[in-house]
Structure 1
């Protein structure tokens, strides 16, 4: 029993656990791209002779062998690993050929292991090609009763082709799948020129190739940086198209979803967003998938732009994802580190070099042994009678044969173990022909082992052969993920995001604002707080914006879709905009893009301003009209007429074309009318041909119009003349 501090004991045990997680569970080996559980699964299937050309066996049998002989963990976790290797939507090049229900892209689980069957695929067979030829090292299994390979010979670049993901202690890995044809092209380029730059390799391997397809829209410079550092991310979008319908209608069909996105959960997420009214351009979503994916999106109206609808879906759903790249792997020395693309490909080629040398040495040893036996057979053929006599009459025939004919122990054993019926085969020509062929093969192997360039040529031929077997000319090898252009940022208009509905905006004198549905609301029946009454009533739509001018010359913007509903008295407008208590609202107008506004102060100064320049992005508003001491903003009118009629406190009227008022973005403005004392009383815009109208006094609300206005026409900044007879004593046009 050893006493130790608790902290030291915990540290020692946690470090052992962390190393076990890193080395034996989470990180793949750069040489074969496999984690221990996958390697043991494939080895167990090989031992069960579940080759591609043979029949299937129950998955329960495979899992039982794995957990009983090689991998002492839970059967469900091992079966889950086997299932994933068989899913063509999860693995780019499946290693397991499954028969039965192995799950689907909707996220449904596979059937129990007692119902499903499996065997290896050609890719899995390629990973273990040469395993019986001393190509890799073996180690004892956990119970010491058997042996298992430390790494597979890997005649297939599995790490990059199928990718890997895992979370260890303090580190993680995430490698996307790639196209084997492109990887082979990169390997060939690297063999031909070991100093090939990463930029040249990226021309061969332009990006990941996901089993579910999609469109890769990551900028090329970002892809290059990710492969150069071993860390980065890739932007992946669903593949979609527009289907035209009758009467000018259309629908959008998604045929490929991003990698590792469960289709059923994606549809559920979109439906939830529709309920929350966060996808206003979308009317309906349907899943019409069979073996092929087909998600149908119906726009709310035919006026919706397909690009706007998809941009909204990309931003709010998993129709667009970012797949991270973190090439953290175990290198040839079992050391975890992050590698770039060139280092990963070089590690694979270095492993293939080691495998080739070991297989060649193994074959050479077999040939040498066989040649030794053939030499012994040749001696036996030439001295058959004497050899038979020695075997029949000598007490120690083996020693006697070795001494009499100068044979080695191997040769003597071979002669003694020969069956009598084999004697007829001891024909000199056959022995010499086999001897000649093996000698020629031996010379070739010795030359191969002595020449590095010959070995690289051999490896290059193997890569070319692998490319023909799994490359782009095969159904499995065709690229699925499209390398698309980097999408431009699409600004979806506010009108496109909000359902367009007519409303009546009501604001009272005390500043309570609300929005009534429809344009035909009877305003006369509206109720207000005690002492309050209606002041502004504007017809608008939910997609509009309301522009508000305050007496301090500041303009505020309120989106109509954010206005409180028509029930009750509404809400104080000061809750939405930061309008100081000492200031009041001058005017409210519905924003129309491209239009100008006329702003003027009580001092009779003003200017035209484009509506785009008065829109405020914050609740603090935007200062438009600068004011002097004791001045306040008084006019805020849309410029939709051709003349200005301005009236002073001195009861002088001046009329001139609106064109004489200059356009500015901000300032005090120009003089609209000159005064000796006082300031401006009122101002309106009107069309000269239609004449100037004003409201008469009395309860009938009659108006009077004067068409002959030559007496009051003048230049801007003039003094003006007394208004026509009958003009209201209130000195207001309305």
Structure 2
């Protein structure tokens, strides 16, 4: 049968005018949104191999042109000058400047020396002063960002209005991309690059250049953050970050304890959090009673640096408090590495090894261009000196030519003819002062020619040798690594002893008496004893009914037994308080019980007191303490919870011995007291024979007898096992 042709939708064009046209949405997105996305990725959000985003680079180049290496100027002046390269507004430029300063403490290796209030990276609410009040200039290491920039080391491009030139990249003489922490959010991608200690970084780069197989983790064991802290070192994870650029680093705060004043003093925190976030989290925990050993917490940060003070109760253990806070607050936080950057205008994710490879290529090219620039200068100078040398060999002839020339304009052509030199050489010679034509000056110029030839040969040799170029990189890195003005001790320590998975916390739960109401269909209602009323009618589903009401505590647990011999444990504190008009918590869902297991019994306990009694269909009864289900590891599932080779008929959780009635399918009845059953310590005990049963006879049902009346007293047995009593017709 032939397939029907798809019907073309008819578009109602009522109200259209001649200027309107139909367009495809996907085409509009491609034409308009994609250029915007690529602009954000390439021109705003992601750093390049020099470690800078365009906003950073434009600001620093402006300061370079202002020659702020040994002086400071008002930040308002810097911001105004930078707008010649960055027209995005003064506030964004100033924010960029603030982050690069020493006083803000964002960078491990600050590039801008500052004077005034620049806020703090670790404080969300500590605002920086307006740029009319603050001053800034370069730190000493900033000079290393521009080495060779005036020797064509990098390409220059037009600024936004083509009135000035600015560098496409800065020729950084060390891997600044790994020395400067960078966070960038682009369209569809993001970047989060950690900072590394400058000395370790330079030494690791040197060794990597010498031997690409070097394990730089042995030299540079991990990032180093300006806020300090303690890295919980995982070598496998760190190696993954170094090779792929993705992974997580767990950083925890450092603290000291003032036992005399019962204070915990925190002076170093993870780079990814703030003092306000930490304090707010701790206050929230205290209000919810999850932590009850803290009296006060405050921010005592001052001119001496960051300080969070926690005052604890007399009976509390400060180390235990911090262990809990590490798990529940940003005092222990994760730095998620995502080393995304631009290489040749394309976004890529690189590990530390990959970044060093790209930086070495970049730096090699910078040095080659710088040496090529010098080489051209040397060659031009040699050309002039060779012309001068010809003159100096017969200076009298030169004087005679000059004196014999009638017109000034003919001096240069006559010298060119007389000594076989070109115009450039002749012009240089005519500019020499007469007093310089002495023996000493002539000898110095002759020596200079030899020196220039040596320099040319040296530069040509280095340019043509990749090995020699890398030696130049190593030489500079060694200089940086040994300069006291540049190098600072590692702030973030590497902790190889504490593992993240070993940090365990038992959360404090508010305890109070509760009533646990259990329905036949397995719904559990938690009602605080203080609000419980016996005459309250609780909402139930059709054909459901309340089986029992148990007194328990909020720190207790609900135990759900299944026909597979498994007990599932649910914390009562995890069960929501139930109102009269609610069904409550479906315990199978809360305990995550599989569909192929059938619920056979539910109970609740606050302290695991009392005993479990299990009646089996073979006439045996098992009795064992409920505390066999108590575990220190907070396990939620316990297998082999009772004997399963014989089908259980009934389960009872009793706090004291009770009378239990049993009935067999052969019509026999008896009542026995559970005191007659020996208490076993094993939950899988087969039990004690209570009723003797003929072959192919089994117990049908069982129940607890609250009070013995005259009739039921007649079937009470004095000893076990017993045959039971026949039921009268």
Q: Structure 2-normalised TM-score?
A: 0.76
Q: 1:266–1:317: 8 Å Cα contact kept in structure 2?
A: yes
Structure 1 residues 620 and 170, CA, compared in 2 at 3 Å: closer, same or farther?
Answer: same
Identify unmatched segments of 5+ residues in structure 1. Answer: 685-693, 698-711, 722-734
Q: Secondary structure at the match of 1:427?
A: helix
Residue 413 of structure 1 deviates from its aligned partner by 1.4
Q: Within 5 A, what are the aligned runs for 1:73-112?
A: 73-87=88-102, 89-104=105-120, 105-107=122-124, 108-112=126-130
Name which of structure 1's ranges 454-463 and 671-680 shifts more when overlaid on structure 2: 671-680
Pick aligned residue for 2:411 from 359, 377, 397: 397
Q: Take 2:354 and 2:568, find their aligned partners in 1: how far apart are those partners?
A: 59
Q: 1:564–1:570: 8 Å Cα contact kept in structure 2?
A: no
The answer on 1:140 being equivalent to 2:158 is yes
The answer on 1:174 being equivalent to 2:192 is yes
Name which of structure 1's ranges 669-678 and 363-372 shifts more when overlaid on structure 2: 669-678
Q: Secondary structure at the match of 1:445?
A: helix
Q: Take 1:575 and 1:387, find their aligned partners in 2: how far apart are those partners?
A: 113
Q: Secondary structure at the match of 2:119?
A: coil
Q: Take 1:354 and 1:134, find their aligned partners in 2: how far apart are those partners?
A: 11
Q: 1:135–1:356: 8 Å Cα contact kept in structure 2?
A: yes
Pick aligned residue for 1:12 from 28, 31, 56: 31
Q: Take 2:649 and 2:655, find their aligned partners in 1: how far apart are those partners?
A: 18
2:301 corresponds to which residue? 289
Q: Take 1:586 and 1:13, find their aligned partners in 2: how far apart are those partners?
A: 62
Q: Deviations over 1:450-478 (max 9, x none)?
A: 3332222222222222221379xx65253
Q: Secondary structure at the match of 1:289?
A: coil
Q: Secondary structure at the match of 1:86?
A: coil
Structure 1 residues 465 and 442, CA, compared in 2 at 3 Å: closer, same or farther?
Answer: same
Q: Take 1:575 and 1:621, find their aligned partners in 2: how far apart are those partners?
A: 27
Q: Take 1:414 and 1:477, find their aligned partners in 2: how far apart are those partners?
A: 54
Q: Take 1:210 and 1:131, find their aligned partners in 2: how far apart are those partners?
A: 29
Q: Take 2:675 and 2:30, find their aligned partners in 1: how far apart are those partners?
A: 91
Q: Within 5 A, what are the aligned runs for 1:547-586?
A: 575=584
Q: Within 5 A, what are the aligned runs for 1:505-520?
A: 515=528
Structure 1 residues 73 and 232, CA, compared in 2 at 3 Å: closer, same or farther?
Answer: same
Q: Take 2:71 and 2:463, find their aligned partners in 1: how far apart are those partners?
A: 38
Q: 1:229–1:340: 8 Å Cα contact kept in structure 2?
A: yes
Residue 158 of structure 1 deviates from its aligned partner by 0.7
How many residues are paired up? 655
Q: Secondary structure at the match of 2:114?
A: strand
Residue 638 of structure 1 deviates from its aligned partner by 6.9
2:384 corresponds to which residue? 373
Name which of structure 1's ranges 387-396 and 461-470 shifts more when overlaid on structure 2: 387-396
2:237 corresponds to which residue? 222
Residue 397 of structure 1 deviates from its aligned partner by 0.5
Q: Secondary structure at the match of 2:501?
A: coil
Q: 2:621–2:690: 8 Å Cα contact kept in structure 1?
A: yes
Q: Within 5 A, what are the aligned runs for 1:26-41?
A: 26-30=45-49, 32-41=50-59
Residue 81 of structure 1 deviates from its aligned partner by 1.0
Structure 1 residues 609 and 92, CA, compared in 2 at 3 Å: closer, same or farther?
Answer: same
Q: Secondary structure at the match of 1:488?
A: helix
Q: 1:545–1:590: 8 Å Cα contact kept in structure 2?
A: yes
Q: Secondary structure at the match of 2:366?
A: helix
2:43 corresponds to which residue? 24
Pick aligned residue for 1:407 from 391, 415, 421: 421
Q: Deviations over 1:593-634 (max 9, x none)?
A: xx7734144967222155242789889999868899995445
Q: Within 5 A, what are the aligned runs for 1:215-614?
A: 215-217=230-232, 219-245=234-260, 250-290=262-302, 291-299=304-312, 302-304=315-317, 306-307=319-320, 309-331=321-343, 333-392=344-403, 394=405, 395=407, 396-420=410-434, 422-423=436-437, 427-469=441-483, 476-484=488-496, 485-493=498-506, 497-499=508-510, 503=513, 515=528, 528-529=534-535, 543-545=555-557, 575=584, 590-592=606-608, 597-601=611-615, 605-613=621-629
Q: Take 1:334 and 1:657, find their aligned partners in 2: how far apart are those partners?
A: 82
Q: 2:615–2:648: 8 Å Cα contact kept in structure 1?
A: no
Q: Take 1:180 and 1:611, find their aligned partners in 2: how far apart are those partners?
A: 58
Structure 1 residues 546 and 343, CA, compared in 2 at 3 Å: closer, same or farther?
Answer: closer
Residue 48 of structure 1 deviates from its aligned partner by 0.6
Residue 448 of structure 1 deviates from its aligned partner by 2.0
Q: Take 1:478 and 1:25, find their aligned partners in 2: how far apart are those partners?
A: 31
Structure 1 residues 713 and 254, CA, compared in 2 at 3 Å: closer, same or farther?
Answer: farther
Q: Deviations over 1:521-563 (max 9, x none)?
A: 9xxxx9742999xx9896x76544577999xx99897756579
Residue 131 of structure 1 deviates from its aligned partner by 0.9
Q: 1:28–1:35: 8 Å Cα contact kept in structure 2?
A: yes
Residue 360 of structure 1 deviates from its aligned partner by 1.5
Q: Deviations over 1:39-93 (max 9, x none)?
A: 1111111111111xx210111222212212x222211111111111115521221
Residue 155 of structure 1 deviates from its aligned partner by 0.2
Residue 18 of structure 1 deviates from its aligned partner by 2.7
The answer on 1:55 being equivalent to 2:71 is yes
Q: Take 1:554 and 1:449, find their aligned partners in 2: how far apart are those partners?
A: 76
Q: Take 2:681 and 2:509, find their aligned partners in 1: how far apart are those partners?
A: 36
Q: Take 1:9 and 1:598, find their aligned partners in 2: how far apart are those partners?
A: 71
Q: Deviations over 1:99-133 (max 9, x none)?
A: 11111131223211122111112232101111111
Structure 1 residues 5 and 117, CA, compared in 2 at 3 Å: closer, same or farther?
Answer: farther
Name which of structure 1's ranges 333-342 and 156-165 shifts more when overlaid on structure 2: 333-342
Pick aligned residue for 1:186 from 182, 188, 204: 204
Q: Deviations over 1:154-188 (max 9, x none)?
A: 10111111132222233322211112222223322
Q: 1:140–1:148: 8 Å Cα contact kept in structure 2?
A: yes
Q: Structure 1-normalised TM-score?
A: 0.75
Q: Take 1:350 and 1:432, find their aligned partners in 2: how far apart are those partners?
A: 39
Q: Deviations over 1:165-223 (max 9, x none)?
A: 222233322211112222223322222123x16xx133333222111112222522122
